[in-house]
Structure 1
Amino acid sequence: MKVVPLRLEPGDDLRRALEVWMGEQQEQAACVISAVGSLSVARVRFAGAAEATVIRGDLEILSLSGTLSPDGAHLHIAVADSSGAVIGGHLGTGSLVRTTVELVIGLLPQWRFCRELDPATGYAELRISPWAPG
């Protein structure tokens, strides 16, 4: 595994920044190892929901986990608001950095992740295969 630290700045779209960054890498698979920081807007899709819910305010990232591939990401987030209430689900685009987000990403050079429609779930699900850069 190759470990890469990243820092996002105020106004960056957390999900979009990770997807763009992954598209610039030679490696074809990655995972989020660590993430701390804050958001001013979180777009979170709850389990079973068709659409994301928009949460606004001073939000602290408690957890961010998931996989990254050149053709997409699957990320789950938990955030706490200014009263300490915690909410979480699928991270959507439009989740904006408030002060900073500090990330540690693991690149997996021996693997290839891609997303393919799974008829059983109706979603583009992770497909994992060995990969050797050419």
Structure 2
Amino acid sequence: MQLLPIRLAPGADLRRALEGAVGSRNTDSAFVVAGIGSLVEATLRYAGESAECKLAGPLEILSISGSLCPAGAHMHMSVSDAFGRVYGGHVCYGNEVRTTAEVLLALLPNGSLTREHDAGTGFNELIVRSPE
């Protein structure tokens, strides 16, 4: 496992940039270990909801974590607004970086993560495959 610290510049879409950062390395799977930064606005999906929610900014990223693989990303993030109110949920597309996003990725061997349908949950869930 290799750790990769990255900085995303203003205007980057947080999710797309993290997916691209992994795909441009010698692996296609990673865990998002930690992250901080700021957003112009946030797009999250709250627990148990099917619709996304847009939060007006500016917002501070308090934490972000999750997994990235070719079969899909699954990340959660907490953000706070100018009044200190905290919101959290699934990271969707449309989280535009305001000044910076500093993220630590743990890169895994190629092909070690995927997602497959789980009959018990009804969702595509993480499958960990050992490198061969």
Alignment TM class, shorter chain as reference: over 0.9
The CA distance in 1 between the partners of 2:119 and 2:52, in whole Å, is 22
Q: Deviations over 1:76-129 (max 9, x none)?
A: 000000000000010101111011101111112287101112222222111111
Judging changes above 3 Å, is the alpha-carbon distance between structure 1 residues 70 and 25 closer, same or farther for their aligned structure 2 residues?
A: farther
Give 2:34's aligned residue. Answer: 34
The CA distance in 2 between the partners of 1:34 and 1:48, in whole Å, is 24
Query: By how many angstroms is 1:26 displaced?
Result: 2.2
TM-score by length of 1: 0.91
Query: By how many angstroms is 1:18 displaced?
Result: 0.9
Give 1:47's aligned residue. Answer: 47
1:20 is aligned to 2:20? yes
TM-score by length of 2: 0.93
Unaligned stretches of 5+ in structure 1?
A: none
Write the mapping of 1:1-134 to structure 2, written as runs, cut at 5 A.
1-109=1-109, 112-132=112-132
Greater shift after overlay, 65-74 or 53-62? 65-74
The CA distance in 1 between the partners of 2:2 and 2:75, in whole Å, is 20
8 Å CA contact 2:43–2:53 kept in 1: the answer is yes
8 Å CA contact 1:113–1:128 kept in 2: the answer is yes
Percent identity over paired residues: 45
8 Å CA contact 2:22–2:107 kept in 1: the answer is no
RMSD of aligned alpha carbons = 1.4
The CA distance in 2 between the partners of 1:51 and 1:123, in whole Å, is 16
8 Å CA contact 1:66–1:74 kept in 2: the answer is yes
